[in-house]
Amino acid sequence: MSNPSILILPGDGIGPEVMAQVTRIIDWFGEKRDLKFDVETDLVGGAAYDKHGVPLSDETMARAMEVDAVLLGAVGGPKYDDLDFSVKPERGLLRLRKEMDLFSNLRPAQCFDALADFSSLKKDIVSGLDIMIVRELTSGVYFGEPRGIHKEGNERVGINTQRYTESEIARVARSAFELARKRGNKVCSMEKANVMESGILWRDVVTEIHETEYPDVELSHMYADNGAMQLVRAPKQFDVIVTDNLFGDVLSDCAAMLTGSLGMLPSASLGLPNADGRPKALYEPVHGSAPDITGQGKANPIACILSFAMALRYSFDQGDEATRLEKAVEKVLADGARTADLMGPEDGTPISTTQMGDVILEAL
């Protein structure tokens, strides 16, 4: 049997730097745990635009559809700010999400004990925090038609369309309920049903799926504005949060920042299972391309490394090996390993991206 395949797309900014550490870790699993992967690397985002004039070539797209998992670094940067909308780095990522049909985006917001002090929130509010945000990723205002800028009389008008079908809501709701069963058994669904009809449909469908398929899970509903408040006020009230593409974008970033360790947070974007039962899947850190620190060896590779841990768990059915990797990360943090983002100005000298890779490999 051939090895499971991984397509690595380091992308832009710090993407290649953090991904270099992931590659070392993949190699370690191959050598030490006999978990071998066929790894290939390709371009996405600005890097792809520079070479091909598009942020994702058709060839790369085709490979993404074939492999067992995609690992992505980050896309975007000021160099590409003035590009036409249709070829912006982000379109490469959005094309992957859409064509791979990765409708369920899992974004854990977890506060690492060793780092609780680093949050802008009080320690008792965030220590032990462990939320899973499930964001719908292939519909809503990101992809709805009509869209664009046109002229009406002598003014321009900008339009986007928020659009959800019942089945689009149902499948992401199921994914949230399934996850909740393996965690705290609670789901909170967020929308603006008080002002948006798409929110009413969202609430209806989530309620239906709950009643007919997951009555054992505790379900609550919250308006998204209140959700943002509650995340700041008392985030530990949540277990799994399920929400649409745009609210999910904003709320998951808000939740991520609560932990104080954005450089630590992974994500998984999952689609439907292939013939072999594996979901189509893309793994990426929650953080962006961080142009301000690119090329300085300052980036924290942990979010990207933990994204690979999610791949081990969700794509390769290697939950134990995922836990092994996560424990290694916890250990180096407990031992005091800190990249620059995890330090205050007076906390001494941070270690580099590569050094963080070194100590995690050692801990493994």
Feature table: binding site: 77-90, 97, 107, 135, 225, 249, 253, 288-300
| Residues 214-243 interacting with a second copy (rule: CB under 8 A) | 224-229, 231-234
* Widest distance between CA atoms in the chain: 67
78: left (phi over 0), alpha (psi -120 to 50) or beta: alpha
* Of the residues 253, 321, 330, 358, which one makes contact with a second copy according to CB under 8 A: 253
| Residues 134-153 interacting with a second copy (rule: CB under 8 A) | 141-142, 144, 147-149, 152
Q: Does 50 bind ligand IPM (CB under 6 A)?
A: no
Give the one entry of a second copy, ligand IPM, none that residue 20 binds, where binding means its C-beta sits below a cut-off of 5 to 8 angstroms depending on kind. Answer: none
Stretch that binds ligand IPM, among 32-40, 89-97, 332-340, 345-353 (CB under 6 A): 89-97
Burial class (CB in 10 A: 0-12, 13-18, 19+), 223: middle
Q: Does 35 bind a second copy (CB under 8 A)?
A: no
* Of the residues 36, 79, 83, 90, which one makes contact with ligand IPM according to CB under 6 A: 90
| Residues 213-242 interacting with ligand IPM (rule: CB under 6 A) | 225
- Please report the sign of the dihedral spanned by the C-alpha atoms of residue 105, residue 106, residue 111, residue 112: negative
Q: Does 102 bind ligand IPM (CB under 6 A)?
A: no
DSSP state of 305: H
In sequence order, what are the residues at sequence separation of 6 or more whose Cβ sits closer than 8 angstroms to the Cβ of residue 259? Answer: 109, 110, 111, 112, 115, 119, 126, 129, 265
Q: How many CB atoms lie within 10 A of CB 221?
A: 16
Q: Does 62 bind a second copy (CB under 8 A)?
A: no
| Residues 246-275 interacting with ligand IPM (rule: CB under 6 A) | 249
- CB of residue 348 to ligand IPM, shortest distance in Å: 32
Residue pair 195/228 in contact (Cβ under 8 Å)? The answer is: no
Residue among 228 and 361 whose Cβ is closer to ligand IPM: 228
Only one residue has tokens 């369920």, namely 104
Give the one entry of a second copy, ligand IPM, none that residue 196 binds, where binding means its C-beta sits below a cut-off of 5 to 8 angstroms depending on kind. Answer: a second copy
Residue pair 315/271 in contact (Cβ under 8 Å)? The answer is: no
Give the one entry of ligand IPM, a second copy, none that residue 359 binds, where binding means its C-beta sits below a cut-off of 5 to 8 angstroms depending on kind. Answer: none
Q: 87: which 2 tokens?
A: 């070829």
Cα–Cα distance, 109 to 257 (Å, whole number): 8
Annotated catalytic residues are: 142, 192, 225, 249, 253
Q: Which residues bind ligand IPM (CB under 6 A)?
A: 90, 93-94, 194-195, 225, 249
